[in-house]
Amino acid sequence: MKTKSIETDPKKFKIAVVGAGSWGTAIADLLACKGYPVSLWAFEKEVKDHIQKFHENKIFLPNHKLSPNISASNELAEVISDKNLVVVVVPSHVMRNVAKKMSGHLSSDDIILISASKGIEQKTHLTMSGVISENLPIVQEGRLAVISGPSFAKEVAQKIPTSVTVACKNPEIAALVQHLFATPYFRVYSSDDIIGVELGGSVKNVIAIAAGILDGLGLGLNTRAALITRGMTEIRRLGLNLGANPRTFTGLAGFGDLVLTCTGNLSRNYTVGIKLGRGKKLEEILAGMHMVAEGVKTAKSVYNFSRKLGVGMPICHEVYRILYEDLTPKEAVHRLMTRTLKQELDEE
């Protein structure tokens, strides 16, 4: 697919970031630090006011001074109109509503849109690119990309070396986005496997809850290693069923993101799991959080979707039962360890 030349001079190329949580703010700052003027949509008035007045997102990315090239607003239409590139970074459960509100305000069918959100919609079982495609038909398939990989927002904001993957059906757009985002501390690889990259980034959050549960129970490193490995088996099974490239799951959006989220104490999903393992109730845990742990909702999506498809995902199913059916973590571990013995490798 041949793409006409796109001018990416920071003086002329206009960027919007939709969503001012920690990851959206970090992405906006990364691009703004490269000289691009970035319009950032914040849902909360308080977040917008803090960014405009103090150049800091005190709620979601505190103690980090943001580039003066960022301009925050609560007006979505104002933020996304007349832009060359829009990055959407909102929680998966509000993606459909936000995309509907964006409809009619994007500049033209030349717009490049990137999803940096991770999740699977509960009713439709669509990944975020699917939700966007349904609600924003103006965005051409070859100009819709996704970005994912092992990337805690706080570390990206601190310019700690990080590597991620951008996927797009059009290799020229993938390369363009790759170069737009790349810095000496933020390395970007390209791919054409959108569904694989999205599934890796979504389902790993469910496995991360499981990893936290194991640590909350005080279990060992052997257990964690087995959990991560078998968790990737489940992610890969679902991916292959949906047409993903199996090699994607050995990369940054697969094992890379899974290892980070299952071992890093900056992971919200891992933290939820630790508290569950220590005996806290889900409602109590979520009430004390102001940021979204995507794995909680994704667990329900994966449970229902995998059963519909007939894909075996026992770890994800046990996480679902802990979250929604009050199964105790200890009983879930026992159930997993005493299942019928099997061959390790799936048939291809």
Q: pLDDT grade, residue 108 (50/70/90)?
A: confident
How many beta carbons lie within 10 A of that of residue 138, not counting itself?
17
Identify the pLDDT of residue 67: 98
Alpha carbon separation from 10 to 3, 67, 84, 298 (Å, rounded): 20, 14, 11, 37
- Integer Cα distance of 236 and 249 in angstroms: 6
Q: Is the confidence at residue 1, as pLDDT, over 70?
A: no
DSSP 240-259: HHTT--GGGGGSIIIIIHHH
pLDDT over 90 percentage in the chain? 93
User: Looking at the predicted structure, is the pLDDT value of residue 12 above 90?
Assistant: no
79-105 pLDDT per residue, tens: 999 999 999 999 999 999 999 999 999
| Residue 112, φ and ψ in degrees, nearest 5 | -105, 125
For residue 4, name the pLDDT band (cuts at 50, 70, 90).
low
Task: Please report the pLDDT score of residue 55 as a whole number.
Answer: 97
Residue 33's pLDDT band, with cuts at 50, 70 and 90, is very high
Residue 2 has pLDDT above 60, yes or no: no
The pLDDT assigned to 32 comes to 98
The stretch 309-316 carries a mean pLDDT of: 98
Output the pLDDT for position 112: 97
> Which of 7-16, 21-30, 220-229, 247-256 has the lowest average pLDDT?
7-16
Q: What is the mean pLDDT of residues 164-171?
A: 98
Residue 266 has pLDDT above 80, yes or no: yes
- Contact predicate 304/121, CB 8 Å: no
Does residue 289 have a pLDDT over 90? no
**Is 48 in contact with 42 (CB distance < 8 Å)?**
yes
- Report the C-alpha gap between 106 and 228 in whole angstroms: 40
pLDDT at residue number 5:
56
What is the pLDDT at residue 9? Answer: 79
**What pLDDT is attached to residue 324?**
97
Where residue 219 falls among pLDDT bands split at 50, 70, 90?
Answer: very high
pLDDT for 7 equals 66
pTM given for the model: 0.95
Beta strands in the chain (DSSP E): 15-18, 38-41, 70-73, 85-88, 112-115, 144-148, 162-168, 186-191
Active site residues: 204
Tell me the average pLDDT of the chain: 95
pLDDT at residue 292 in the model = 82
**Between residues 108 and 224, which one has the greater pLDDT?**
224
